[in-house]
Amino acid sequence: MKNINLKIADITQEDVCAVVNAANSSLLGGGGVDGAIHRAGGEQILSECKKLRASLHPDGLPTGEAVATTAGNMRAKYVIHTVGPVYSSCKNRCEELLANCYINSLKAASELKCHSISFPAISTGIYGYPKGEAAKVAYKSVKSFLETNQSMEVNFVFSSKESYDIFADAVKEL
Ligand code: AR6
């Protein structure tokens, strides 16, 4: 689809308005993409996350929601932090919660007047969401958002050819 690109790259190097972080509800950093983004962006990201946590989400950011901070030293302007579902415990809400991550991140990007955004494959690492299933949810969510927001350019960024191929094959079936 026009406005959707798939690529193999390190998301921390993306030259876009907003990169999305597959965070956890603490917003205090972690492993995977989260660790890479905090390392690349520097301590300004953590400092803004702590402020957001204290003012808006003292109990943590709920699964499926999204908040934005600076991207610090990265080329992007903003990081949009979203919390994907943990596959072993999301039960019959997995798809809905993962879709919310994409939609709420896109809404946050729009509110920031961004026209370009890069997503990692949310929940498909440490949180264990099967990559093919997650791909279908991700693609459908983004596609539906783009139907009414044609000025957004969306990149799906994968850290390996294997992940890229799984995504590309899964969305062909849609
Ligand atoms: N660029 C693009 N994709 C990447 C990169 C990168 N630099 N690094 C990893 N991936 P994960 P989750 C891929 O585990 O499953 C953290 O500790 C990776 O191969 O980062 O949502 C948080 O704090 C995988 O396909 O996120 C949470 O506690 C995908 O990004 C928890 O992990 C997502 O993997 C979130 O787990």
Ligand 1 contacts CB of residue 41 (under 6 A): no
Catalytic residue among 10, 15, 34, 165: 34
Please give the DSSP secondary-structure letter assigned to residue 59. Answer: T
Which residue owns the Cα nearest ligand 1 atom 13?
Answer: 159
pLDDT less than 70: residues of the chain: none
pLDDT, tens digit (0-9, with 9 covering 90-100), for 70-80: 999 999 999 99
CA distance 78 to 140: 24
ipTM of the complex: 0.98
- Is the separation of the CB atoms in 146 and 135 below 8 Å? no
Please report the pLDDT score of residue 1 as a whole number.
76
Q: Residue 88, SS3?
A: coil
CA distance 160 to 77: 25
Please report the pLDDT score of residue 54 as a whole number.
96
| Residue 15 falls in the annotated catalytic set | no
CA distance 72 to 39: 10
Count other C-beta atoms under 10 Å from residue 111's C-beta.
9
Please report the pLDDT score of residue 107 as a whole number.
98
Enclosing domain of residue 62 = 4-172
Q: How many domains does the chain have?
A: 1
Please report the pLDDT score of residue 173 as a whole number.
87
CATH of the domain at 134: 3.40.220.10
